[in-house]
Structure 1
Amino acid sequence: MPLFVMPYPIIDPVMVHLGPLPIRWYALSYIVSLVFGWLIARRLVGREALWGGIARPSAQSLDDLLVYVAFGAVLGGRLFYVLFYNLTFFLAHPLEIPAVWQGGMSFHGGMTGAALGAFLFARREKVLFLSVGDLCCAVAPIGLFLGRIANFIKPELWGRPTDVPWAMVFPGAGPDPRHPSQLYEAGLEGLALGLLMLLAVRAGACKKPGLTSGLFLTGYALARIFCEFFREPDPQLGFLFGGATMGMLLSAPLALAGGALIIFALRRRARAQLEAEHG
């Protein structure tokens, strides 16, 4: 037992009641993320200097992109949670599958669904899918940050038992002080990754289609794998082989895909410059 434990700041998971309708912090994090992401994306597509002539969605079409991505994220997030995190329960209770308001979403699934939505949007608008992906990835850390803060407020997805001075005793997690791993993830997946996206975009990453997406995928995967060492595994799954967790297992392919995208984007840009010089 540590000598000092930080008090957990108990916050009502319901921010406000609008008559019989409760507005929860968790739902608010999704709404605010989508709105702020949409606003920032509109600013990004309007700055020609960031794209260097690369075709991208128009500011007006981003309203539709928001719908495609939001629908894909919710559908994919729920589907992955059902398949990879709690399949036995949902096979026994199939009517619970649509009940997303009760919690249970997978970020990896949400990202996969959002990518599919972005792909369908890109085909409809006849713009490069990689550029649409770059735009989405540039603003995605907003949702990651707010989502992890919502996990902390709920509280859920807490950390493993520890004796560090900033350990907290989470309601519903037993008497042991634990890592506030939700805050670790908010800091790395949200703030640090958001700063990386900001610096990359300002440095001209959007001029190399796929580079911003590759940096995001690699950065998120590494941050998630690191934080999994402090996060308590889902109780219905526990540890997998060799002490690995499902979060680690799903993040490893993201790191590989991100690295491949980075190499592809840089080589493609270099090849285009070479052809222009000798054209």
Structure 2
Amino acid sequence: MQSHIPFPEISPELFSITLGGMTFALRWYALAYIAGLLLGWRLILRAVSSPGLWPGPAAMTGEQVERLLTWIIAGVILGGRLGFVLFYQPGHYLTHPGDILKIWEGGMSFHGGFLGVVTAAWIFFRREGIPVWSGADLLALATPPGLLLGRIANFINAELWGRPTDMPWGVAFPGAGQNCPGVEGICARHPSQLYEAGLEGLLLGLVLIWLVWRGRALFRPGLVAGVFFAGYGAARFFVEFVRQPDLQFVTAGNPLGLAWHIGGYGLTMGQILSLPMILAGLWLILRARRGPGMAGA
């Protein structure tokens, strides 16, 4: 018998309340977003209130950090939703445009949220006269906690699971029995959400904290952002090898769900979207290593 780990009995909802025939629920996924934003906000505040981390004055004041939080929330929600609509299910939303607003039914894209945050932050930095690359470093430092908690919430929701596996740590996710050719009975899958939580959230977060508080990385604007971009992109690229692709990409002639392929080789949509992040990250790292004289960039 194939060994596997049974999926834990965890409800996606912390609690729900019914008032006047309408049900309101607090879900782990929403709590992960809230907690991630708050933890990131606290990290930024800690960094800007530590003079020894900067070659001169901190890139932002505490008051600016407070205002930035509102912009980031808008960028995450709008960008994440529009990214999912455009990157993953454009056909469905073109014929059902009203569904775009139904965020409560799920469907958020990290890469879309990333672009939304970049756009919102760039506008905010220009309005406030904040050095762009130093501001980007602070946002990069703040992002891994949200990734860690968000991927754990994905696991609790039994979504975005991995491909079938015979490894002993494979998890039998509810509703994930399809697309398991050659497997009889229970279909165990890679807990790819937890792989991403460990790589993109915990490991990358610890690396960035070390770079800021021990490696004096904020003396080289763009370095922290570059490490984040390259680190996230690489982690996501490799996890995609064991992550089940979105069903709209899986066909009889393309069982691996590759968004681009020639013969039996190709890339998933997640890998395609991660490659520009890796390249941008490497460019930023090389740019930052030229020297510290870029604080006003």
Cα pair 2:144 2:202 within 8 Å, conserved: yes
Distance 2:246 2:267 in 1: 12
**Secondary structure at the counterpart of residue 261 of structure 1:** helix
Instruction: Name the structure 2 match of 1:69.
Output: 72
Cα pair 2:81 2:108 within 8 Å, conserved: yes
Which one has the bigger strand percentage? 2
Distance 1:147 1:207 in 2: 30
Instruction: Name the structure 2 match of 1:14.
Output: 13
Distance 2:48 2:79 in 1: 26
Q: Offset at 1:170?
A: 0.5
Instruction: Name the structure 1 match of 2:273.
Output: 250
Distance 1:163 1:75 in 2: 39
The alignment status of 1:166 with 2:189, answered yes or no, reads no
Instruction: Name the structure 2 match of 1:134.
Output: 137
How many residue pairs end up in the alignment?
Answer: 271
> RMSD in angstroms over aligned alpha carbons?
1.5
Distance 1:243 1:7 in 2: 32
Q: Offset at 1:266?
A: 1.3
Cα pair 1:55 1:128 within 8 Å, conserved: no
Q: Offset at 1:243?
A: 3.5
Instruction: Name the structure 2 match of 1:190.
Output: 201
Distance 1:263 1:26 in 2: 36
Cα pair 2:51 2:58 within 8 Å, conserved: no
Cα pair 2:49 2:58 within 8 Å, conserved: no
Deviates more, 1:215-224 or 1:61-70: 61-70
Partner residue of 2:245 out of 233, 236, 246: 233
Instruction: Name the structure 2 match of 1:37.
Output: 40
Q: Offset at 1:180?
A: 0.6
Q: Offset at 1:254?
A: 0.3
The aligned runs of 1:27-176 (5 Å cut-off) are 27-53=30-56, 55-174=58-177, 175-176=186-187
Distance 2:42 2:144 in 1: 14
Distance 1:256 1:143 in 2: 23
Q: Offset at 1:10?
A: 2.2
Deviant stretches of 4+, over 4 Å:
none
Partner residue of 1:262 out of 274, 285, 288: 285
Deviates more, 1:142-151 or 1:34-43: 34-43
Letter paired with 1:170:
F
**Secondary structure at the counterpart of residue 101 of structure 2:** coil
Q: Offset at 1:135?
A: 0.4
What are the superposed Cα offsets for residues 128-175 of structure 1, whole Å, 9 maximum, x if unpaired?
Answer: 011111101001000000000000000100000010001111011114
Deviates more, 1:73-82 or 1:137-146: 73-82
Distance 1:54 1:230 in 2: 45
Point out where structure 1 has 5 or more consecutive residues left out of the alignment.
273-279
Q: Offset at 1:268?
A: 4.1
Q: Offset at 1:210?
A: 0.5
Distance 1:265 1:69 in 2: 24
Distance 2:12 2:26 in 1: 9
Q: TM-score, normalised by structure 1?
A: 0.94
Which one has the bigger helix percentage? 1
Distance 1:47 1:34 in 2: 20
Distance 1:220 1:163 in 2: 27
Cα pair 1:57 1:125 within 8 Å, conserved: no
**Secondary structure at the counterpart of residue 23 of structure 1:** strand
Letter paired with 2:65:
L
Q: Percent identity?
A: 49
**Secondary structure at the counterpart of residue 195 of structure 1:** helix
